[in-house]
Amino acid sequence: MACVQTASAMIDGMGNTFSMVYIEPALAKWSTTLPTSIQRIWIQPEIYSEMGYHVAETYHPMVKYEDFPEMETALEFEKRIAAFVDEASDTTDKTIVFVAHSAVVSLIRNHKLSSAEEAANNRFIPLDTVCIDIATVSENPLMQFTRINNAMRRLASNEAGMTGAGQA
């Protein structure tokens, strides 16, 4: 869900009204690190749309939800990601922004992971350059899609002039 929230917030933050989020299970985390019942808990695109996210409901993913592997080796994980990137780059001349978990982004950038532990601990990935040539003020800051801990929530509430629970 975090990736859909991130991608949708990026669209909002740029004031873009025509781009959509395409949910692709092929770009999901390494299945070995997910609960074994993952096929039963996928959130369908229609649900995201109902929640207000910019999701393309008619997109037909390369890997269907019901075909997503419950268990896969590191090599199978790498091949799944590579197959999608190859397919996506061969079928469009448009710019594609991949929003995925850090291990997936690392693989997209041709970094092979050596173990499940490395995939699990690969939380941050350096960004080379991000250029946005549209100056836009968004109602909500683009940070809304990131994980926010309680201290950051309190800070945001205080800056907005709101009081937290238990404060007078």
73-125: per-residue pLDDT in tens? 888 888 888 888 778 777 766 777 778 887 887 777 765 555 566 556 554 44
Closest CA to 134 of 19, 28, 34, 44: 19
User: Where residue 144 falls among pLDDT bands split at 50, 70, 90?
Assistant: very low
User: What is the chain's mean pLDDT, rounded?
Assistant: 70
User: 116-127 burial by CB neighbour count: b if 16+ within 10 A, else e?
Assistant: eeebeebeeeee
User: Where residue 68 falls among pLDDT bands split at 50, 70, 90?
Assistant: confident
Q: Which fold has domain 2-159?
A: Rossmann fold (3.40.50)
Residue 145 has pLDDT above 50, yes or no: no
Selected residue with higher pLDDT from 110 and 30? 30
- The 3-state secondary structure of 38-92 reads HHHHCCCHHHHHHCCCCECCCCCCCCCHHHCCCCCCHHHHHHHHHHHHHHHHHHC
Q: For the segment 37-59, what is each residue's pLDDT rounded down to a tens digit?
A: 655 566 788 888 888 888 888 88
